[in-house]
Structure 1
């Protein structure tokens, strides 16, 4: 495993996360603002323009996104 610097993913939970109804399920999603930030950082990474602070932020956001993907997949699978 490679150690990486990242912003603690839980720092966005209170202000950057919403629960949205999709069909009859409630799933975790980023707020529009946090999703825009993730998209912007991803674009800056592609252009190789990230600062080290932005890289740490992007790493934390991607980790939170992975966590939500797993949680939402579990919610979906258990609802069937």
Structure 2
């Protein structure tokens, strides 16, 4: 296991997460603003332009995205 500093993913739950109906199932998705921020951070990372704070933010968003992928996969599998 790798230890790293990251923004607590729960900090985005209130304002950055939507429950969207996809093929009749409610799935967890980033809202438009949070998805855009994730994409911006990924582009900055590819260009080696991330600040340490942005790297921390990207780590948190990436972890939250992984969590949602797992939860959404389970919702789909159980439907």
Query: Structure 1 length normalisation: TM-score?
Result: 0.97
Match of 2:76 in 1: 76
Unpaired segments ≥5 residues, structure 1: none
Match of 2:4 in 1: 4
**After superposition, what is the alpha-carbon deviation per residue over 1:31-74, rounded to whole angstroms, capped at 9, x for unaligned?**
00000000000000000000000000000000000000000000
Query: Runs ≥4 in structure 1, deviation > 4 angstroms?
Result: none
Q: CA RMSD in A?
A: 0.4
Match of 2:58 in 1: 58
Unpaired segments ≥5 residues, structure 2: none
Query: Structure 2 length normalisation: TM-score?
Result: 0.98
- In 2, the alpha carbon distance for the partners of 1:23 and 1:2 equals 36
* Number of residues of Structure 1 aligned to a counterpart in Structure 2: 79
